[in-house]
Each structure stands twice: as structure tokens, then as C-alpha cells.
A = this chain, B = another copy of it.
């Protein structure tokens, strides 16, 4: 009953098998091997266009270096007030980019367009004292499991364009959002105006596979130096490439995300039919947020269920009452129907 996070899961057998095969040969280091090149080309196919791809060690690195690549002195970056970049990366995006993250409020983990516009207006391009707008970053799927629709992405991109700002997407759970929307990687990114993507594989079946994908190659120009200077260039880079090769092969990544989302739906259904718990908000990807009695939560923990309680968003419509708590349940490629049902039984 492991629902603490999708990064508590291990790695998928197909990915292991590919790593094993890679381990028996020699190849050029620092991202210059034939395999590195082949996988970079594979990203072109996945995204239906020429892209620039850079492997890095962590999702935090992907976000931070993506923003560093469009850094401007005195720049500010707009993100949702609960975004990973502002709340969960210990200031790494600020450290690497030299810019500040400015929070934009909005319900269900999504930036509200009016708030976004108001915030940008506060930082015009000649605002030497305040600082100036330099980028927008959005998270897909969001920290609370919601998913921006294609139109919502396009609307944010339009605002970005109107102000001359690059748009970055934190795709730590990109695959989960993709299958939730039943769309293509191209449609969910550059066709809607996204410039840079943090493409995460770790949470969805790899053990360490994160990439920065640039749809605008001009923005990638300094990245090779930024990456080396930030100690993110793996010597045996091809082992990241190998994971991505297996991950992207024959739609494995979509299959794994579909499974994770289905497990979340199963949890959702169980909870909404339950007497002891209720959904905090609709489930859209692989994260389920529920309000449960504290006693129930304790019992579940005692029975071995792993999950975290969660800080309630400001704008929550029906917050937890006396003796209740908000909890987060995350499913992954490795979650099983058996475990979901065990958990549902545990909370009664």
C-alpha cells in the first residue's frame, strides 16, 4: 500500500533490461555516444519536430536549468503559488537562474489568468526597482493532480507571447497529464506555445531519467555550458539515454502512465463510494486527494499504508472539519489493484 509518492516505486523491467545491455560495452562519455545521439533523435519523433534535448540528474535540475537558460538580470518568473519550483526545490531555481519566483494564485494548482496578468503588469520591462518579467513556468500535471486543458495551456502561452516571455512547463508528471488529456506530446507543448519542457521519466518507471527539451533551439544555446558548470553532465550519460530509449519504445511510457492513472481512478471511485472519506477535489491524473477522519488515517498507517498528509490550499472549497485531515495518495506504474483495494479496505 505505497501511495506516498510515485518516486517510491522502483524501475520497470524493460528499463532494467536495457540498462543491463548497455553496461557490457564501452562508449564515449559525457553525452557524446551514439546512443545519446539516437535517443536525442527519438525525442524529435516523439515531439514531431526538431528539439534540443539535455539529460540531467533530477527534476529540480531540469526546472532550474530550463529557467537558467532564459535568465535575465533582475528577472522574475511567474509560477503557481504551490508550484514545486517555489515550494519544494529549496530555492534551486533561484540559485541557478539568479531570478526570483513570484507566486500567482489560482484554484486547484492552476494559475488564474487574471491573477497572472496582474502580476506580470507589476513587473514591466523597464522596472529597474521592482525587477522585470522574464518567464512563466507552469506544471503539468499540477502539484495537486489537476491537469491544464489544451486551451488553458494556449491561453497562458498567449499571455507569455504578448509580454515577450518564454513559457516553461514542468513535466515531472508529463506522461500522466498526457494520457489524461488523451492528446499528443506535440499538442500539449509547442503546438500550444510551450518553449521549454522538463520531461520527467523518473516518477513513471525509470530510476533516474530527466531531460530538458527545448522547442526553441535558440534558448538552448548556453545550456551545454550551464549544464557542465552546474555539475549536471553525467560522464556515463548514455545510461540515462538507455533508460529513455526503453521508456519511449513502443509506447511503454504511455502504458505506464495509463496504468498509474487507472489506479488513481480506482482509488477515487473507492473513496467517493466510501462512508469514512471523501474526495477533496476531482482526480485528473495519478494523484488523489481525500479528506479522512484522523482516526481512520492512523488506522491505515498502522496497517502499513504509506501516504502523506497535505497542507490545505487557501482556496479549498470544502476544507477538512474537526477531527479530519487532508491526505494525498499517489499511484505509479508499480501500483496494483490489489494494493488499492487493500487500502480502501483499510480506511473502511
Complex: A6 Cα to B339 Cα, angstroms: 44
Complex: A129 Cα to B228 Cα, angstroms: 7
- From the candidates B2, B24, B132, name the one contacting A225 in the complex (CB within 8 A): B132
Do the beta carbons of A208 and B95 come within 8 Å of each other?
no
Q: Which residues of B contact A122 (CB under 8 A)?
A: 311
Chain B's closest residue to A200 (CB) is: B235
Contact of A88 with B129 at beta-carbon distance under 8 Å, contacts A25-B10, A202-B236, A232-B58 already known? yes
Q: Does A239 contact B (CB under 8 A)?
A: yes
Do the beta carbons of A23 and B10 come within 8 Å of each other?
yes
Contact of A224 with B128 at beta-carbon distance under 8 Å, contacts A58-B235, A100-B91 already known? yes
Q: Does A27 contact B (CB under 8 A)?
A: yes
Q: Which residues of B contact A311 (CB under 8 A)?
A: 122
Chain B's closest residue to A68 (CB) is: B73
Q: Does A292 contact B (CB under 8 A)?
A: no
Q: Does A20 contact B (CB under 8 A)?
A: yes
Per assembly, the copies of the chain total 4
Q: Does A158 contact B (CB under 8 A)?
A: no
A 19-48 contacts with B by CB, 8 A? 19-20, 22-30
Complex: A229 Cα to B239 Cα, angstroms: 24
Q: Does A181 contact B (CB under 8 A)?
A: no
Do the beta carbons of B234 and A208 come within 8 Å of each other?
yes
Do the beta carbons of B29 and A228 come within 8 Å of each other?
no
Do the beta carbons of A207 and B239 come within 8 Å of each other?
yes
Q: Does A245 contact B (CB under 8 A)?
A: no
A 270-295 contacts with B by CB, 8 A? none
Q: Which residues of B contact A131 (CB under 8 A)?
A: 90-91, 225, 229
Chain-B contact segment, one of A59-67, A149-157, A319-327 = A59-67
Q: Which residues of B contact A99 (CB under 8 A)?
A: 91
Q: Does A334 contact B (CB under 8 A)?
A: yes
A60-B228, A88-B129 provided; 19 other pairs, C-beta below 8 A?
A7-B236, A8-B27, A10-B22, A10-B26, A10-B236, A26-B334, A58-B231, A61-B232, A74-B90, A89-B228, A89-B229, A90-B228, A91-B98, A91-B131, A92-B231, A95-B229, A100-B101, A202-B236, A208-B234
